[in-house]
Amino acid sequence: MSPGRHPDHAPLELERFVPYQLSIVSNTVSQTIADDYQVRHDLSVTEWRVMAVLARFDGLSAREVAERTAMDKVAVSRALARLVAAGRVRRHTHANDKRRSVLGLTAKGWAIHDEVAPMARQRERELLARLDSDEQAWLARILDKLMPGDQARG
Amino acid sequence: MSPGRHPDHAPLELERFVPYQLSIVSNTVSQTIADDYQVRHDLSVTEWRVMAVLARFDGLSAREVAERTAMDKVAVSRALARLVAAGRVRRHTHANDKRRSVLGLTAKGWAIHDEVAPMARQRERELLARLDSDEQAWLARILDKLMPGDQARG
DNA sequence: TGCAAATGGTTTCAATTGAAACTACAAAGG
DNA sequence: CCTTTGTAGTTTCAATTGAAACCATTTGCA
């Protein structure tokens, strides 16, 4: 290598670089879903994730919501503040630990959930419709393997 | 109300919902790359993308950079402002159109590129190492199909 | 020509986000 | 008890981002 020069630059081909592709695909998909119904309900992606988790697991604390949504506790705290203010989530204090909150969807929250969830599934279907069934199966398998926290599982 | 599942409402299983998985995987991967070298060089992901594109295509305008990085023009403008200020990108005005800029990496820009690009590839390899070679091949194919702008190509 | 519309790029202002500090409560050890 | 340390959750402040307005130049066309 001659001094002071950079002879073999081997530039990255962004459009074939997997982390870049993932980011583009992910952002496009999330944006499509967000545009469609979440803007309509004045519901951010983070808020929707919190609602989705509370729909499955009633009575979680904010920390548990954070764990299950892969969001940090500040983001969860802010999402919850909005959701509670909007009457979509109820929050009361844990009987045996006054630090913890006990969270759940209200009737209004369920109503929104029941409208948004099928739509989200529909968007997922539309995304997957661009793949044939082999590709769909491989994608599911690949994403399972790439999800963090899955390294240990065979 | 007992804690637990609400099967009648068909709650979304976030961890099997493809858009969610994509977002988690994408963010984790990008963050890993960013932490590693880009923070070290005080280089954001957007700045790195601009540099990667200019490494391949010398003399692009800002708009062309925006097209090739899937970023909006405001983000590109800001990234360029920082890159030019840091002496990593040179910018001059197009001879026949004084609105357009003509962009390229400086020697300093190339030096950073030549350090970051191999590292980015290495991280990509580490990601893909979690998949077997069948899965790697399918992932490449699937991402190509899911990349926006690819719908038309058969 | 001359003037409206379009284009390339930047700036502004408000909303969003992230990191660290902070409050309140709980648990554990002396 | 009382002090230290840890945990749940919120607030604060600065940095980042996005949308719209903006400026300069070019283009289309009467």
CA of B102: nucleotide with nearest C1': C8
Please, which residues have CB within 8 angstroms of residue A37's CB and are 6 or more apart in sequence?
Answer: A43, A115, A116, A119, A120
Nucleotide nearest to A96 (CA to C1'): C26
Mean pLDDT of A68-96: 95
**Considering only alpha carbons, which residue of chain B is nearest residue A115?**
B9
Per-residue pLDDT tens digits for B43-66 = 999 999 999 999 999 999 999 999
Distances (CA, A) of B131 to A37, A64, B67: 35, 30, 31
Q: What residues of A are in contact with residue B26 (Cβ under 8 Å)?
A: 19, 22-23, 25-27
The nearest CA of chain B is from the CA of A9 a distance in Å of 6
| Count of pairs with CB atoms under 8 A, one residue in A, one in B | 186
- pLDDT in the model for residue B154: 33
pLDDT at B3 over 60: no
| CB distance B103 to B60 below 8 Å | yes
Q: What is the mean pLDDT of chain A?
A: 89
Question: Which pLDDT score is estimated for A150?
Answer: 57
What is residue A5's predicted lDDT score, i.e. its pLDDT?
Answer: 40
B75 beta carbon < 7 A from strand C?
no
Tens of pLDDT, residue by residue over A126-152, are 999 999 999 999 999 999 999 987 554
Please say if the pLDDT value at position B120 is more than 70: yes
What integer pLDDT is reported at residue A8 of this predicted model?
Answer: 72
Residue B35 pLDDT exceeds 80: no
Distance (Å) from CA B29 to C1' C30?
47
pLDDT of amino acid A13: 92
Fold of the B36-143 domain: Arc Repressor Mutant, subunit A (1.10.10)
Per-residue pLDDT at A6: 44
In angstroms, the CA of B82 and the C1' of C10 are apart by: 13
What tens digit of pLDDT does each residue of A1-30 get?
433 344 578 889 998 999 999 999 998 898
- The tens digit of pLDDT for each residue in B60-105 reads 999 999 999 999 999 999 999 999 999 999 999 999 999 999 999 9
In this predicted structure, the answer to whether residue A71 has a pLDDT above a threshold of 80 is yes
Q: Are A89 and A50 in contact (CB under 8 A)?
A: yes
Q: CATH number of A36-146: 1.10.357.10, 1.10.10.10, 2.30.40.10, 3.30.70.330?
A: 1.10.10.10
Please tell me the predicted confidence (pLDDT) of residue B99: 95
Residue A13 near residue B56, CB atoms below 8 Å: yes
Interacting residues of A16 by C-beta distance below 8 A, sequence separation 6+: B140
Q: Pick B7 or A125 by higher pLDDT.
A: A125
B139 and A138 within 8 Å at the Cβ level: the answer is yes
Strand partners, A89: A105
Please work out, in degrees rounded to the nearest 5, the angle formed at the alpha carbon of residue B38 by the alpha carbons of B36 and B41: 115
Please tell me the predicted confidence (pLDDT) of residue A128. 96
- Evaluate if the CB of A99 falls below 7 Å from strand C: yes
**Per-residue pLDDT at B2 exceeds 90:** no
Whether the per-residue pLDDT at B30 is higher than 50: the answer is: yes
Give the pLDDT confidence score for residue B150 in this predicted structure.
Answer: 57
Q: Which residues of B touch A20 (CB under 8 A)?
A: 49
- Sequence-distant (≥ 6) Cβ neighbours of residue A106 within 8 angstroms: A87, A88, A89, A90
